[in-house]
Structure 1
Amino acid sequence: MGFNNWNTTGCGAQFNEAMVKGVADTFVEKGLKDAGYTYVNLDDCWALPQRNAAGNLVPDPVRFPNGIKAVADYVHSKGLKFGLYSSAGTKTCANEGFPGGLGYETKDANQWASWGVDYLKYDNCNNTGADAQTRYKTMGDALKATGRPILYSICEWGSNSPWNWAPPVGNSWRTTGDINDTWSTMIGIAHKNQPLAQYAKPGAWNDPDMLEVGNGGMTDTEYRTHFSLWAQMAAPLLIGSDIRTASAQTLTILENRDVIAVDQDPLGKQGTVVSSSGGLVVMTKQLANGDRSVTLTNETSSTATVSTTASAAGLPGAASYKLSNLWSKAVTSTSGTISASVPAHGTVMYRVSVGTGSSIGTTHPLISASSQRCLDAEGARTTPGTKIEIWDCNGGANQAAALTSAGELRLYNGTQCVEVHENATTPGSVVQLWTCNGGTNQQWKLNPDGTITGVQSGLCLDVTGGDKPAGNVNGTALELWTCNGGANQQWILG
């Protein structure tokens, strides 16, 4: 788990020492380190185009005026690890053509170890047609000979079926070509990686490439699918967006510790496909404590019901099972059917265990995925007609929400209800506080995809204008709006 700059900077001028240090700072300041992200990795273009007279790699003095060791030392000072890039060829993959490691394996490995490198991404460009297994094993042996623990990421693109030979050579191996920030590429890579589950094990992982979450080419719903599937496939989680400027909705995805726990589960099993038909795909992943993680993915362009059973997911026979939704945090029970209405390009992800449970009647803050702020009755007032808004979570009774068996959304320990003003059913309708009266305008449904819909209207509880940063500030009102999968319509039980 960590960061790689390539998907957000490439070889652009913004790739420099200040950026790398800023990412390390942000990992600590925004809780990413605490969530498990460890590596801060440089990709291509960190070196000069030529080696020096001694044959050593030379850091670009404009990008890295204090050298690479100084950057590594800074990253280490934050309690993080530092990674670097090269290629198993004469040159790297960038158009500029920086020196590759072919023929310089021992020299480069020793230099990197002296700088404090903890991770090597080793690409496959300009390889002169030399045997891939030989090239990658030579570098792997050189890294081991340094005596420094260096995670070895084999970036061979799956060209020579590395899953058959890479496990004793490195710690991960790319199974596909490069990802880009589109739904079609991301889901296509998932399809190529899914059948390789048998080859993954602790210390040796299939790598479907870095995360695109937060780069802007996919919707929030698609990014949740991206992150869910990578976790289900026990893939490396390397952030590929500029985390220094990440939005709240991006952080909500990347810092989801329940999903991360599935990815990092110590059993080390990659999830497998249970069923796949008509774009509706179910995966199951065995977890160390006996639970199963189940993903229900809808790859089609319209909402669909995706279903499986506890038995098909690999769970033992039981009278009931507890479904813990890893995105909304809602808990429900089932006698065996695992099913959800899933939006287009969406994924519902459950942790399934033997037993029962329910979120109905329990009290939680309701946290908006677009702002990480809580549903709130303005000013802690109890007066009927009080605005319902988002505000910094503070544990107040005006943020203590309970969804009842009648579908009411009660605040103030159950004395007041969230309702739609004057029974309105159109987009833009006002949401307010009112004395509970059993009206259908006070009935809500918490859906498996994290949306909350008004029973009377079928519209979603929406942070007004929350699809833009300016719409996620304290005091922003809630309203009804057409359901669209945006993070400002996603709610998490705190």
Structure 2
Amino acid sequence: MRHLPTRSTRHRVVGALAAALLGAAGLGTPALAAGAPAAPAAPPAAAPAAAPQLDEGLALTPPMGFNNWNSTHCRAEFNEAMVKGIAGIFVERGLKAAGYQYVNLDDCWVLPQRDTNGKLVPDPVRFPNGIKAVADYVHSKGLKFGIYTSAGTKTCNTAGFPGGLGHEYSDAQQFADWGVDYLKYDNCNNQGVDAELRYNTMRDAVKAAAETTGRPIVYNICEWGQNKPWEWATGVGQLWRTTGDISDNWGSMLSIMKKNLPLAQYAGPGHWNDPDMLEVGNGGMTGTEYRSHFSMWSIMASPLLIGSDLRKAPAAAFEILGNREVIAVDQDPLGKQGTVISSEGGRWVVAKEMADGSRTVALFNENSSPQRIATTAEAAGLPDAAGYRLRDLWQHTDANTAGTISATVPAHGTVLVRVSTDRKWALLPPALEVNADEGLMAEAGETAELTSTVTDLGRTPALAVSVSLTGPEGWRIKATSRSATPALAGGSRLTTGWEVVVPRTTPTGSYGLTLTTKYHSLTGQRLTTSAPASVHVVVAPPAGRTYLSDLGALSAENGWGPMEKDTSNGESKAGDGKPITIGGQVFAKGLGVHAASAVAYYAGRRCTTVTAQVGLDDEKGAKGTVAFEIWADGKKAASTDVLTNAMPAQPISADVSGAKVVRLVVTDGGDGVDSDHADWADLRIGC
């Protein structure tokens, strides 16, 4: 076991260590490198020699509140009026009552230079009345106030605002004097100083300053997971970032979720994994995706810090952020982070133990089409019972189940349920699962055949059960077998065949269908449940050799940003890529993706080969490792070894004879997703 210095020894030596490292780099002491007189890196002589013990009463549940960064960055709209406006909205729109309490500032609140005493100076344009006045206003609303700085010579903004390295005790005292309740301590410009030493020093400074004011400060270690803070930061801060910054898109949210999920063992009351702030309401994702974002952050016991400007957010954002049943999952006093039960094929099951003995279960669909996802109460950790209560936390409905937990989950959607043993389960209506064939494809003018199934998951029968199927206007849909039954006993099914006629003029693309089941319970309740289905209208590739970038994809899953046609992947908005370049060779045609990626095309059983030149795009320099795979109807037809940026374009070819669907897959090479800009150059299909 590695023996670390004691806390008191650490905070005495860190200043000297930082100065030595900065001096070796030609930067002088941390304070001088920031362009201000040096403040003491060690506490004043009157301070106690040993650091006070961590206040165990802080952040016993994950912090909830607001941070401006995701919506404003350093734009002029980030100012005193905004902060006060958010505090008012917390109270007026019921967010405070729902548990949100911190109103936090991020970067750009301070001037680029300290004053002659080495103190931080609030920007007088943004905050004309100073920081204490803003904190006092937030406190007057019964809320708490947070602030930001970095464990380096400067913060992360390119303007170069002063950071806390070498000024820890002075800055912490300023924060405490202003009434700060929460500190986000970032990781930029750290000059190579040991992370544990940097964050321990500010921990000690924050604790000492808080003792002089009587106001404890929640300490957020924003170290991006670079040095695995989950392994050492318990007892240093109350939460620590596990990932890089989140962006307002599906790929970013998904990638961050996947990094945070395996760290469940490190979370608990007073020490939380932090996968970064919420994007709900910023507009880059759909309502379904935002509900998934909020559901998964809650089941992971993550801090819930709203990242949208609530003065502009739509009503739908408030409905998501204000869902108290989902918030209760996040804020459960037992403090367990949900653990992964299964994740095959992008169909995730995550279960969280709750203080009352129940389990919250998330059925999360990573895919771009509806998927049936299922588990059991036993797999979620509940004891054997005759029946269970199944509470849907988004629909706010109760049902009984014999133990199966399953649903058809929309594309990028999440079904979030709370399952418990309940002696009165028989008084609840049975849970009915409705699903249909997945992956249905049809060419325009064709008739597609579909089968739906209604299953009684409960112990009690469903009465007067009927099912209907609806689709886009102009589509003809009819049942080809029975679509109703007087009773459906527990465990029984109603299976119905359907004919779906796709109009000849229908453009290619995915079209949603809706299955709706109506039924009665034994107690006379009339209930309705529905589930999504889809039909992808396709066109077979033309004869000859065709560039796949000239055809429409069935689906495209991408690690960061959207898949790009004939350019590289720019990680953000569509169209932000550059010419495809591998090993100095430029290609006019192809696909630019980012691991982990899967792009599917309809081959219609009429094609024989797929060929490409593949590799990492030159735009990321020496970074990135990936591997390429070609799949034909669920079977791997070709693959490469792990490729690096130092390699030229590599050929790949696959026999896809008779395949209905071809999938192009890029993995991260086994070392995580980092700058994995992958190109399918000169990508063609032969038919």
Partners of 2:241 and 2:107 in 1: how far apart? 16
**Deviation of the 1:483 alpha carbon:** 7.9
**Deviation of the 1:358 alpha carbon:** 6.8
**Deviation of the 1:460 alpha carbon:** 7.9
Q: What TM-score results when the alignment is normalised by the length of structure 2? A: 0.54
Aligned: 1:314 with 2:381: yes
2:266 aligned residue (189, 196, 199): 199
2:181 aligned residue (90, 115, 118): 118
| Residue of structure 2 equivalent to 1:336 | 403
Q: What TM-score results when the alignment is normalised by the length of structure 1? A: 0.75
Partners of 1:226 and 1:2 in 2: how far apart? 16
Q: Is the 8 A contact 1:4 1:240 kept in 2?
A: yes
Q: Is the 8 A contact 2:106 2:148 kept in 1?
A: yes
Partners of 1:299 and 1:75 in 2: how far apart? 39
Gap runs ≥5 in structure 1: 362-403, 409-422, 430-439, 442-454, 462-479, 485-494
| Residue of structure 1 equivalent to 2:277 | 210
Aligned: 1:153 with 2:220: yes
Give the residue type in structure 1 aligned to 2:152: G
Partners of 1:349 and 1:145 in 2: how far apart? 42
Q: Is the 8 A contact 1:90 1:100 kept in 2?
A: yes
Give the residue type in structure 1 aligned to 2:222: C
Task: Give me the identity figure in percent.
Answer: 65
Q: Is the 8 A contact 2:300 2:330 kept in 1?
A: yes
2:329 aligned residue (247, 250, 262): 262
| Residue of structure 2 equivalent to 1:414 | none
Partners of 2:297 and 2:122 in 1: how far apart? 33
Distance 1:483-1:281 versus aligned 2 partners, 3 A rule: closer
Partners of 2:135 and 2:391 in 1: how far apart? 40
| Residue of structure 2 equivalent to 1:64 | 127
Query: What do residues 71-121 of structure 1 show as CA deviations (whole Å, max 9, x unaligned)?
Result: 000000000000000000000001101000000000000000000000000
Aligned: 1:19 with 2:86: no
**Deviation of the 1:425 alpha carbon:** 5.7
Q: Of Structure 1 and Structure 2, which has the larger fraction of its residues in strand?
A: 2
Q: Is the 8 A contact 2:387 2:426 kept in 1?
A: no
Partners of 2:132 and 2:294 in 1: how far apart? 32
Q: Is the 8 A contact 1:425 1:456 kept in 2?
A: no
Number of corresponding residues: 389
**Deviation of the 1:334 alpha carbon:** 1.1
Give the residue type in structure 2 aligned to 1:58: V
- Structure 1 or 2, whichever has the larger Rg, is 2
**Deviation of the 1:456 alpha carbon:** 13
Gap runs ≥5 in structure 2: 1-63, 431-461, 475-482, 485-497, 501-512, 517-529, 535-687
| Residue of structure 2 equivalent to 1:393 | none
Distance 1:358-1:126 versus aligned 2 partners, 3 A rule: farther
**Deviation of the 1:11 alpha carbon:** 0.1
SS in 2 for 1:206: strand
Give the residue type in structure 2 aligned to 1:182: N
**Deviation of the 1:43 alpha carbon:** 0.1
Aligned: 1:36 with 2:99: yes
Q: Of Structure 1 and Structure 2, which has the larger fraction of its residues in helix?
A: 1
SS in 2 for 1:345: coil
Q: What is the correspondence of 1:139-288 to structure 2 with a 5 Å cutoff?
A: 139-146=202-209, 147=211, 148-288=215-355
SS in 2 for 1:243: coil
Q: Is the 8 A contact 1:23 1:244 kept in 2?
A: yes
Q: What is the correspondence of 1:314-463 to structure 2 with a 5 Å cutoff?
A: 314-355=381-422, 356=425, 405-406=463-464, 427=472, 459=514
Q: Is the 8 A contact 2:469 2:514 kept in 1?
A: no
| Residue of structure 2 equivalent to 1:473 | none
Query: What do residues 254-304 of structure 1 show as CA deviations (whole Å, max 9, x unaligned)?
Result: 000000000000000001001110101100000000000000011011111
Q: Is the 8 A contact 1:427 1:459 kept in 2?
A: no
Q: Is the 8 A contact 2:103 2:145 kept in 1?
A: yes
Partners of 1:255 and 1:405 in 2: how far apart? 35
Partners of 1:151 and 1:9 in 2: how far apart? 23
SS in 1 for 2:205: helix
Q: Is the 8 A contact 1:72 1:116 kept in 2?
A: yes
Partners of 1:240 and 1:234 in 2: how far apart? 17
| Residue of structure 2 equivalent to 1:382 | none
